[in-house]
Amino acid sequence: MHLPSNEPFAGIPLAAPPSAAATPAARRCPRCGTGFAADAVFCIHDGTALLSDRAAQTLTGTLVAGQFLVEARLGEGGMGAVYRAVQVRMARPCALKVLRRDVASDSSTVARFRREASNSSQLFHPNIAALYDFGETSDGLFYLAMELVEGETLTTLVAREGALAPLRAASIVRQVADALAVADEHGVVHRDLKPDNVLLVPRRDGSDLAKVVDFGIAKATRVEGQRITRTGVVIGTPAFMSPEQLAGESDLDGRSDQYALGLIAFELLTGARAFPARTFGEATRRMVAEPPKLAEHRPDVAWPPGLQQVIDRALALDRTQRWPTATAFGAAFAQTIQAWQVPGSVAPGLAPGLAPGLAPGLAPGLAPGLMATPAVMRQRLIVIGAALLVLIAVVVVLTLI
């Protein structure tokens, strides 16, 4: 939006930017970066509310909401920036997520930001980064103060070490599954679960404590009359999105996050991404072409009977065919690996002595309803794939509109 310099904006005169001979800019537009005099309120170019020159560039060194002393900038996303801060009265370190001013001008985005805070405040679990506080400052700055998790992301870990030891992978997957189950109980879907959003904190005994972070695009799924993310708008990371999420469906539930966890589990075991993709179309084509196989990525490993089927069920294109809960998937995954790695253990759904001679296919009790002939399964994949591609085309058109 372009406004002439002599036209009032919301009843407040718009000041012109200072001349080259004038004193340094006291206020600055966070969108276009133009500097203004101290008495300016809105940018003459785009109408964005101005910040102090320092605050427009960084909040480092400032006191937010009278209680959070900002120490350093940690990163930036589509909705805003994240800072390391200290809650002064509690002397407690935290991660301060601040909504960008230009983004805050959109009412639907602010609604989603508030919804995130409301949702996250209900989630109490050792494997979820806690929310400490949220609100809006007197000058219109929206913020979230969250637990500062000082750990390593799964992305960094796998990049450094490659495939993890199976028992370690099982422990991580089970912890993340438990976190997702709690979120699902409160009607919250993460929508962007990926290795970057799972951090590992070392315990005293050397084991991993997994923490799921950034419910930044979480959505309440059981709030009647409200749809913060409208149908047709795709939010998430393509390589870890479920078929229904890629299709832009609005009625997502915990099974969508379970699908993402299935992809993470595959990556932890193989050190390779199941569906490497940068676009929605590429992700969809890979997804419907062929399910990822452990043996193809790690032919050097004698994978146990049933493990591929456990993952396949989590990655079912039809979400009604997935595990009923993330906890069920996490338990089956961990127990199957334990039965393989720990002598004397028995995998779920497998009778003792049956596993060594188990024919290729689905293990008894693991995936009822998924026994389809190759021809039927291929036909089903083609139909689902075509539907997904059509829906994604609609998403692209809606985005352009």
Catalytic residue numbers, as ranges: 192
C-alpha span between 77 and 97 (Å, rounded): 10
Angle at 307 between CA 164 and CA 177, to 5 degrees: 65
C-alpha span between 381 and 359 (Å, rounded): 23
C-alpha span between 392 and 383 (Å, rounded): 14
C-alpha span between 385 and 227 (Å, rounded): 26
C-alpha span between 169 and 196 (Å, rounded): 16
Residue 371: is it exposed, middle or buried by C-beta count within 10 angstroms (0-12/13-18/19+)? exposed
C-alpha span between 196 and 213 (Å, rounded): 9
Helices (H) and strands (E) in the chain, counts: 12, 14
Instruction: For residue 336, give both structure tokens.
Output: 């199957």
The pairing of strands 198-202 and 152-153 is antiparallel
* Chain-centroid distance, C-alpha 307: 25
Considering only CA atoms, give the Rg of the chain: 24
CA atoms in the 13 A half-sphere facing the CB of 389: 13
**DSSP E strand boundaries for 159-276:** 188-189, 198-202, 208-212, 219-220
What residues does 83 pair with on adjacent strands? Answer: 73, 96
Any known ligand binding at 219? no
Max intra-chain CA distance, the chain: 87
**DSSP E strand boundaries for 137-214:** 142-147, 152-153, 188-189, 198-202, 208-212
Known binding-site positions for ATP? 97
Known binding-site positions? 97
